[in-house]
């Protein structure tokens, strides 16, 4: 008997539930679902979209910042490009190719060592940048290399902080 009652109760319960579900579409017309706000799922989607937008904006800003920066710094007596500048130079190269722009690469050295040797060192640095731009598809005719040696320092001091800012190649659009 116990079993039977249980079964009937379950059957009734099931009936009530199915009745509810069948009546739901009609009920939804009256009840303002929208007012109750988006579901958790929708919220998550929105958050994700927002996050993606923010990330895209940040990325665009980062790329813009890379395009806005135009100076590559070097180690003492070095003409090897640090890998941290690869992306920046690739972005400039892409812009030069897409917009058919030309640049002047100005090579500079710090004041240590002789002025004439530093003039050669400045050219070597500018040529290292030119070489990378070429591998990114820029043609020779879009690049002009000029060395100023130690003659045109960015900072006037006679210390490592100034020297580090003076060992540089400036990429200037024409």
Partner 1 sequence: MKNVLMGFLMVLSLVSFNSRAEIEIVITEGRDDARPIAIVPFAFESDSLVVAPPFDFAKIIADDLARSGKFKPTAISDLPQRPATVDQVDLSVWKQLSVDAVVYGMVREKSPGTYQVSYDLIDPFNDKAIFDSDIEQGSYPLIPQSQHLMLLKDKIIGENNFRWNAHVAADEIYEALTGERGAFATQIAYVEVDRSKANPYQLFVADSDGYGAQRIFSSRRPIMSPAWSPDGNQLAYVSFENGRSEIILQDLAQAQRNTLASYKGFNSAPAWSPDGSKMAMVLSKDGNPEIYVMDLATRNLKRLTRHYAIDTEPSWHPNGQSLVFTSDRGGRPQIYQVSLSNGDVKRVTFEGRYNAGAEFAPDGNSIVMVHQSNGNFHLATQDLANGNINILTKTNLDESLSIAPNGSMIIYSTVNGRQKVLSSISMDGRFGTPIPSTTGEVKAPAWSPFLM
| Euclidean distance between CA atoms 150 and 166, whole angstroms | 8
Helix axes 86-99, 115-135, angle to 10 degrees: 70
State which of residues 63, 71, 91, 120 lies at the interface with partner 1 (CB under 8 A).
120
Give SS3 for 39.
coil
| Euclidean distance between CA atoms 122 and 169, whole angstroms | 8
What number of chain residues touch partner 1 (CB under 8 A)? 21
Q: Which two tokens stand for residue 163?
A: 């020297």
| Euclidean distance between CA atoms 57 and 106, whole angstroms | 32
Site string for partner 1, 128-167 (x = CB under 8 A): -----------------xxxxx-xx----xx---------
Nearer to partner 1, 88 or 108 (CB): 108
* Cross-sheet strand order for the sheet of 143-149: 71-73, 168-173, 103-108, 143-149
Nearer to partner 1, 88 or 145 (CB): 145
59 belongs to the binding site for partner 1 (CB under 8 A): no
113 belongs to the binding site for partner 1 (CB under 8 A): yes
117 belongs to the binding site for partner 1 (CB under 8 A): yes
Q: Which two tokens stand for residue 65?
A: 């910042």
State which of residues 124, 125, 167, 168 lies at the interface with partner 1 (CB under 8 A).
124
Q: Which H or E run includes 19?
A: helix 2-30
Nearer to partner 1, 136 or 148 (CB): 148
Q: How far is the CB of 96 from partner 1 (least distance, A)?
A: 20
Residues 38-57 that bind partner 1 (CB under 8 A): none
Residue ranges binding partner 1 (CB under 8 A): 111-117, 119-121, 123-124, 145-149, 151-152, 157-158
């Amino acid at each position: 008997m116990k079993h039977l009652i249980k079964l009937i109760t379950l059957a009734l319960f099931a009936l009530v539930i199915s009745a509810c579900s069948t009546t739901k579409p009609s009920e939804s017309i009256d009840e303002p679902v929208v007012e109750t706000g988006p579901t958790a799922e929708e919220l998550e989607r929105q958050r994700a979209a927002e996050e993606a937008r923010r990330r895209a904006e940040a990325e665009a800003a980062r790329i813009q910042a890379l395009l806005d920066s135009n100076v590559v710094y070097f180690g003492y007596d070095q003409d090897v490009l640090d890998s941290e500048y690869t992306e920046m130079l690739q972005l400039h190269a892409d812009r030069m190719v897409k917009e058919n722009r030309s640049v002047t690469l100005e090579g500079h050295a710090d004041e240590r060592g002789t002025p004439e040797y530093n003039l050669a060192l400045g050219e070597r640095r500018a040529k290292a940048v030119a070489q990378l731009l070429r591998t990114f598809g820029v043609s020779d005719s879009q690049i002009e290399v000029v060395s100023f040696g130690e003659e045109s320092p960015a900072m006037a001091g006679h210390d490592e902080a100034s020297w580090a800012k003076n060992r540089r190649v400036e990429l200037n659009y024409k």
